A and B are shown apart, each in its own frame.
Chain A
Amino acid sequence: MNQEILNRTLKLIEEVYDESMYGENDIYRIKDLIHSVDTNHWKSKQWLVDEFYKLYDHNQGSFYVGGGWYGLLSYLIRNKWEDESLNITSGDIDPRCEEFGWKLFHNSDINFVTEDMTLRDLSEYSAIISTSCEHVEPEILEKFIKSKDSNAWVVLQTNNYEELDSHINCYPDVMSFANWVEPLLKERIYFAGTLRLGDFDRFMVIGK
């Protein structure tokens, strides 16, 4: 992990702890913050950035990250596309994601917003991305994909880790996931792959 991000995460953890003493008591955020930057999430998101960079092939446009959590993916996107002419928006329905996103990645030129990702007008984006499809109901994910501009890219990740209560849209393998996504696309799937992460696999589909 990047040293600076580690330090900011630790500082934020301290803030959450202090807040639990005198204000809102939500110390589970500490665990959630740690999970959000753990090795598996870092690897999964770096994998996305590396593969999508090869396909996107230019440095302008605007990316929308749906269910962006505390912003790690947007940060890694910015590191890959350092040119500020690429706009990055990270949306999450959880209001604390916006607050913590700014605190963790304030100098990465990312626009953090609190919103339901299906309520945003996605037609203006050159790519829509979600690495949290396992948390998103198929009906909502379908709406998300169908809302994009027909020429825009869609980059999606899910996994086969069924055990968690919040994982309501897992797939057994990448082909099952790709077969679900493909009919929703105007063109086709350009990338479908699996990242093995020990106890479970992460699947990624990139298409247009």
Chain B
Amino acid sequence: MNVIFVKWGTKYSSEDVNTLYNNLKKYNDKHTYYCYTDNSEGLDKHIDVIWIPSSPRLKKWWNKLRMFAQEFPIEGKCMFFDIDTVIKNDPFKILDQIDFNKLTILDCPWKTDPIYSRATNYDVRIASGVITWTAGNHTEMWENFISNKDYFLRKYKGIDRYIVHENYSYETFPHTYIQSYKYQKEIDYEPAIMTYEEVNFESRNIK
């Protein structure tokens, strides 16, 4: 399986990627690890680099959407992790429950405020901090985006909102897979990962 990280700009460093890689490798060193990035300096030599192309220019998390482009140079099963994901238990144990023909994404059950349902804010109750899929599937997400890129960049604050409000189908990981750092201080299960939900790219919540 391909495990993919996306590092664009300077918010996260190669050291951050290496930390995540080492934390994941403890559980499975047979997977092939990739970093899709505009700067590979300092990355662990066991992480394969996929270069972010100069065109189309995308900022921040929008680069994640490119993983669904037909030309993205990966084949087979894929699992993506945001760089600020904290690994608490084996995150791969769940994979035998996953249908890789479908897009699977994190659910955020802590988002209970009715504001998330308002049509005007396009907010959502999912998060793209971890995603599983099979390369070559869901290419329509990228193709639709690129056909009217500028409008989507204005309309949505990130790819989570794009995925939901452009009506792409998805499954979600079980609630017990994830713990929210901000909103779930106490839980009665052992999650595989802890995640941060941030809309402000300038903030840095890692570690």
Contact = CB atoms under 8 A, between A and B. Distances in A.
A168 B59 contact: yes
Interface stretch (A25-33, A83-91, A180-188): A25-33
B55 A94 contact: no
Interface string B110-124: 000000000110100
A166 B153 contact: yes
B62 interface: yes
B57 interface: yes
B151 to A, nearest CB: 5
Interface in B37-66: 54-60, 62
A135 to B, nearest CB: 5
B29 interface: no
A121 interface: no
B96 interface: no
Contacts of A137: 55-57
Nearest to B54: A139
Nearest to A25: B119
Given A28-B155, A165-B59, A165-B62, A94 B150 contact: yes
Contacts of A164: 153-154
Interface in A72-122: 93-95
The interface size bin for chain B is 10 to 19
A95 B55 CA distance: 22
Contacts of A25: 119
B57 A169 contact: yes
B148 A94 contact: yes
B122 A165 contact: no
A67 B62 CA distance: 21
Contacts, number: 39
Interface residues of A, number: 18
A165 B151 contact: no
A169 B119 CA distance: 31
B119 A168 contact: no
A93 B54 CA distance: 20
Interface in B140-185: 147-148, 150-151, 153-155
B54 A94 contact: no
Contact of B151 (A94, A139, A169): A94
A166 B150 contact: yes
Contacts of B154: 28, 32, 164-166
A135 B150 contact: yes
Contacts of B150: 67, 93-94, 135, 166
Contact of A168 (B57, B120, B147, B148): B57
A168 to B, nearest CB: 4
Ranked nearest first, the 9 interchain pairs of A and B with the lowest CB-CB distance are A166-B153, A168-B57, A28-B155, A165-B153, A165-B59, A94-B151, A135-B150, A137-B57, A166-B150
Given A25-B119, A27-B119, A95-B148, 11 more contacts: A20-B119, A27-B120, A32-B155, A93-B147, A94-B148, A137-B55, A137-B56, A139-B54, A168-B57, A168-B58, A168-B59
Interface of A: 20, 25, 27-28, 32, 67, 93-95, 135, 137, 139-140, 164-166, 168-169
13 contacts: A20-B119, A25-B119, A28-B155, A67-B150, A94-B148, A94-B151, A95-B148, A139-B54, A164-B154, A165-B60, A165-B62, A165-B154, A166-B150
